[in-house]
Amino acid sequence: MYKKYIMSFALTSMTVLSSWVCVKELRIDRIAADPAFRMEYVDESIAEDKHSFMEMISSVSSGQRVVGYEVLEKTKQYQLSDKDYDALLRIVEAEAGGEDQDGKLLVANVVLNRVNSDLFPDTVVDVVMQKEQGIAQFSPTVDGRYQSVRISGDTRQAVERALYGEDISQGALYFCAREKADSEKLQWFDRKLTRLFAYGHHEFFQ
């Protein structure tokens, strides 16, 4: 009888011990498995980040990205006072309101070329308002257009392009609309100046 109890006790103890060992092994397996999974996941994440980083570097170093970067890095070549800026907007709108944006840019270029030239005054306002022998250099300043214009968004964009240094004028210092100019003025343009090109309704001279 005692042998029966001893055998039952021994079997129960072995079962409990075996279960405890299994639980410990399972726990160890979980502890060992978790870091391995996390390490694999981290390794994959690092690989993906590295791939993304290399793609970004490749994109930045491409010719197209360099051009975009240079555009973003542009700074204004002309820092105008509020009065000069307003005068440039007004004269461009008055002289080239019916032109496309390049036609407006050309008028802005001529005004700024004059500001940079020793032959003309040093500010936009003085260039726009200049008179030679009592004759205005820009007719809109005397016929009311300069004072009454409403500045369009297109004109603002053209002026900004000029202020950031875009110049398509070939150095022009004069322009005229031949169909609107009087014959005496046109003769002076043709006789005294060098015609560079025509664009829109204007001819440009130096």
Which CATH code is given to the segment(s) 82-205? Answer: 1.10.10.2520
**Residue 46 backbone phi and psi in degrees, to 5:** -60, -40
Question: d(Cα 133, Cα 131) in Å, to the nearest integer?
Answer: 6
Mean pLDDT of 95-113: 98
**Residue 176 pLDDT:** 93
Share of the chain above pLDDT 90, in %: 55
The sheet with strand 174-176 has its strands ordered as: 174-176, 202-205, 195-199
Q: Has residue 106 got a pLDDT over 90?
A: yes
Whole-prediction pTM value? 0.65
**Residue 133 pLDDT:** 87
Most confident of 4-18, 23-37, 68-82, 135-149: 135-149
**Residue 7 backbone phi and psi in degrees, to 5:** -65, -40
**Residue 30 pLDDT:** 43
